[in-house]
Chains A and B, each alone.
Chain A
Amino acid sequence: MTDWLRRPDFSQSQAARERWLAPELAALTRHHLTHCPEYGRWVRAMFGPAGDWPRLEDLPWLPVGVFKTHSPISVPETDIVAAVTSSGTGGQPSRVRLDRATADAQVRALAGIMARLTGGARLPLLILDSEAVLAQGSAYSARAAGILGMMRLGRDAVFALDGEMALRTEAVTAFLRRWGEGPMLVFGFTYMVWAHALPALVAAGLRLSAAALLVHGGGWKALADQAVDNATFKRRLAEEIGVRRVHSYYGMAEQVGGICLEGEDGFLHPPPFVDILIRDPLTLAPLPPGRPGLIQIMSLLPRSYPGHSLLTEDMGMIETIDTGVWGGKAFSVLGRLKQAELRGCSDTFAARGPA
C-alpha cells in the first residue's frame, strides 16, 4: 500500500495537493467509467463525453443521493466483502459496497489521518457508544464502521454505554482508574456524546483524563433543535468532564476513512488524498472562499464503487486556503440543504441521470 495513505502530509499547500490529486482523480474517474456501466451512463448524460478534467472542478460528480437508490460497483460482484450503510437521517439509507482493497484503504486512511492527532500511538480507547452497534455481520452502519476503524487505532477498548444507552459505570470506572491521567482516545458520534455519554458521566461524577483526546463526528443535524454549536459542545465537555482536546470530523457512509478533521483553528481539513469544492446550490458553479454552498467531496479511496466525487446535500464554506499549519483548504459545515432547495438539483439528475 502506498505511502500517501500511511503518512499523509497535511502541511502540503493547495497547489501541491492539486498538482498530484487532480490527475489521480481523473485516472480514478476513468477506472469507474471503464468498470461501472451505470456510472458511465450517468456521467455521459450529465457531463457529456469523457474529458481530461485537468482541474478538480472539471471532474464529473454524482449526487450523493444516488447511493440511496442504487449501489453501483466498479469491481466484480464476487470481490465484494462488505457494505456500509448510512444511518439514513434523511429517510432512505445509502449503501456502498466494498472490495478488500477499498476496505483496507479506508482503515489505513483513517489510521494515517488520526496519527495527525495521536502521533501514531495506540492509545487506550473509550468508545462513547454501545457494543450492540457492531452486531450486524458484513453490512455495517457508518457508525459501526467508524467504531471499528477507531478500534484498530486504539488499544484495550471499552464501550461506555450498554444497549439501552445507559452508562456501564463499572467498566468506565475501571478504565479511568487503570489509565489515570495519561493520554487516552475517546471516540463517539456527536449525538451520542452529547445526548447520552456526557449527561451519564456527569451524573456518575466521572471526569476523564486531562490528557484525553476526544474525537467525534456524525454531524450536528440531530442536535440542531437543541441549539448546540461547536463552541457550546466544547465548553461543556471541558467544564463537566475535563476534556480539553476535542476534535470533530466531517465524514459520511459514502466516504468512510476519508474524513476531514477539525484542526486547532476550529475548521475542517481534508487529508491530501481528499479535497472539497463548494458549489452554488442553483448554478452548481464552484464558489470562492467565504461563499456558502453545497459541499462536493472528492477522494482517492473509493475504487470498488464510483463514490470518488460526490456532490453532498451539506452546505459548507471554504474559510481559508494555506494559512494555517494544516495547508490546503480549511472549511466549515453549515448544515443540511433544505429539501426544497435541493429539488432543483435532484430533478436535474432524475431527468438526465440514471438511464
Chain B
Amino acid sequence: MHWHDKLRQVFRDALDLGADAEVDGLAYRAVPAWDSVGHMRLVAALESEFDVMLDTDEVIDLSCFDKACEILSRHLDG
C-alpha cells in the first residue's frame, strides 16, 4: 500500500470519517470531527502509524490533507 493510502486511512480512523470518506480535500475545522481535539488525535495517530515525530511548527502547519502529505514526505524521505 502506498503511504498516501495509509495516510488517508489514518485520517479516516482518527477523525471517525467512515471507511470510504473522501479525505484528499479535507481541511482543519472544515468538518466537525477535525476540531482542536480531533487534530491532536490525528497527530498522535499519524506519528504512531508512521513512527515519526513532528516538530511544533509541523503540528500547527498540518492544516489540510495535502499539507500532511508534504510534511510526512519530508520525514519519510529524510
Give chain A's interface residues, CB within 8 Å of chain B.
6, 81-82, 100, 103-104, 107-108, 111, 115, 120, 122, 134, 137-138, 140, 148, 151-153, 155-157
Contact = CB atoms under 8 A, between A and B. Distances in A.
A138 B37 CA distance: 10
A138 B59 contact: no
Contacts of A148: 36-37, 40
A155 B53 contact: yes
A107 B40 contact: no
A184 to B, nearest CB: 15
B6 interface: no
Interface residues of B, number: 16
Nearest to A135: B37
B59 A152 contact: yes
A152 B60 contact: yes
B29 A6 contact: no
Given A120-B55, A122-B53, A138-B35, A157 B40 contact: yes
- The 8 residue pairs across chains A and B that have the minimum distance between CB atoms: A148-B36, A151-B40, A111-B56, A81-B29, A152-B59, A134-B37, A153-B56, A107-B60
Contact of B60 (A82, A108, A140): A108
Nearest to B40: A151
Interface of B: 29, 35-37, 39-40, 44, 47, 53-57, 59-60, 63
Contacts of A157: 40
B60 A100 contact: no
B53 A6 contact: no
A122 B29 contact: no
Nearest to B63: A104
Contacts of B54: 122
Contacts of A103: 29
Nearest to B36: A148
Contacts of B44: 156
A82 B35 CA distance: 10
Contacts of A107: 60
B40 A140 contact: no
Nearest to A6: B57
Given A140-B36, A148-B37, A151-B40, A100 B57 contact: no
Given A104-B60, A148-B37, A155-B47, 8 more contacts: A6-B57, A100-B29, A103-B29, A104-B63, A111-B57, A152-B60, A153-B56, A153-B59
